[in-house]
Amino acid sequence: MKTKMDFPNINERRPEGLDENGRPYRVLIVDDSMFVTKQISQILSSEGFEIVGTAGDGEEGVEKYKELYPNVDLVTMDITMPKMDGVTALEKIIEFDKNARIVMISALGKQDLVKKSLLLGAKNYIVKPLDRPKVLERVLLSLK
Amino acid sequence: MRVEYINPFVEAAFDVLKEVLHTDIHRGELFLKSATQSVLGVAAIVGLAGDVEGRVLFDMSAETAIEVASVMNDEKFTSVDDMVKATITELANMITAQAVTKLHELGFKFDLTPPAIFTGENMEVTDTEVEALIVPVNLPMGKLEINVAVRERA
């Protein structure tokens, strides 16, 4: 008789937020909207990602990245923010760590800024409104 | 006011609201309001400046704002707190960004201000130089009014 050991259990799918060693990917969220920060954080946490920091503007984002480095795997970066916008913050982070993995979060209509970000080294982008499949897909692609 | 300015806002509002609220929405009759209008209780205002200038107001009652934010956050709120305000701000952001993209495609160039949220009772808004067009949107959570007062820069 077969035991249940013989069958893969679909409930035991490995959460997407873990790397090949089962360690959670560490994420820094940079966004001036509490709502968006919470949304991203809920989506990623539910897949096992670890939110290691949040920042409310670009300047704070760059500082937090430097503080956390090298213990951070990915940054989600809003484009329109007070003090320092996301594109400038992206430039500063890449200057500091050329391997930084940054995903831009953009409202519709910012194609030029998204293009500029990708040329500057952003790994991917997500256009709001955010939803779970879109966020997970783009984040995971950026980590590959 | 030319209706081509307001249509992009209405289309964008429908697209975004459908997507974030996962629900059917119905458009009420479009109407023109007199110079002074009452504000329902929670209003997000976005300014436009460029070829087209004026402002767009997304206006709803406190109860509706709480319900909308509860759905968008998948969490029950009971008052218009900071998270509810942040959620409504983001909603206004998403709708205006999409509307502006459409207007840019039609050849109008202008900038937007970040949204500001007004809350309170017995508020009124007065536009003396630009007429306002209102599109009521009926949601399961209550009524939302898209109130657009824009004109072409002389």
Q: What pLDDT, on a 0 to 100 scale, did the predictor assign at position A79?
A: 94
Task: Fold for A23-143, please state it.
Answer: Rossmann fold (3.40.50)
Tens-digit pLDDT profile for residues A67-107: 999 999 999 999 999 899 999 999 999 999 999 999 999 98
Q: A96 to chain B nearest CA, in Å?
A: 30
Picking from A68, A66, A74, the residue whose alpha carbon sits closest to that of residue A47 is A74
pTM of the model: 0.83
- Over the range B29-56, which residues count as b (16 or more CB within 10 Å of their CB) and which as e? eeeebeeebebbbbbbbbbbeeebbbbb
One DSSP character per residue, A68-116 reads: HTTS--EEEEESS-SSS-HHHHHHHHHHH-TT--EEEEE-TT-HHHHHH
Asked if the Cβ–Cβ distance from A128 to B94 is below 8 Å, we say: yes
Contacts of A102 (CB under 8 A, 6+ apart): A74, A75, A76, A77, A90, A93, A94, A117, A121, A122, A123, A142
Asked if the Cβ–Cβ distance from B83 to A34 is below 8 Å, we say: yes
Q: Where are the domains of chain A?
A: 23-143
Asked if the Cβ–Cβ distance from A107 to B72 is below 8 Å, we say: no
Residues of B in contact with A42 (CB under 8 A): 74
**What whole-number distance in Å separates Cα of residue B17 and Cα of residue B91?**
8
B40: phi then psi, degrees, rounded to nearest 5: -70, -25
Q: In this structure, what token pair is assigned to residue B121? A: 């009772």
Q: Where are the domains of chain B?
A: 3-152
Query: Is A65 strand, coil or helix?
Result: helix
Residues of A in contact with B73 (CB under 8 A): 35, 38-39
B30: phi then psi, degrees, rounded to nearest 5: -70, 135
Task: Fold for B3-152, please state it.
Answer: Chemotaxis protein chec (3.40.1550)
In three-state form (DSSP H/G/I as H, E/B as E, the rest C), the secondary structure along chain B is: CCHHHHHHHHHHHHHHHHHHHCCCCEECCCEEECCEEEECCEEEEEEEEECEEEEEEEEECHHHHHHHHHHHHCCCCCCCCHHHHHHHHHHHHHHHHHHHHHHHHCCCCEEECCCEEEECCCEEEECCCCCEEEEEEEECCEEEEEEEEEEECC
Contacts of A7 (CB under 8 A, 6+ apart): none
Q: What pLDDT, on a 0 to 100 scale, did the predictor assign at position A10?
A: 61
Contact predicate B84/B77, CB 8 Å: yes
Asked if the Cβ–Cβ distance from B73 to A35 is below 8 Å, we say: yes
What is the residue-averaged pLDDT of chain A?
91
Each of the 154 residues of chain B gets a pLDDT tens digit; together they read 567 788 888 889 999 999 899 888 888 877 777 677 778 899 999 999 998 889 999 999 999 999 999 999 989 999 999 999 999 999 999 998 888 888 888 888 888 888 999 999 888 888 777 888 888 899 999 999 998 888 888 7
Q: In this structure, what token pair is assigned to residue B109? A: 């160039």
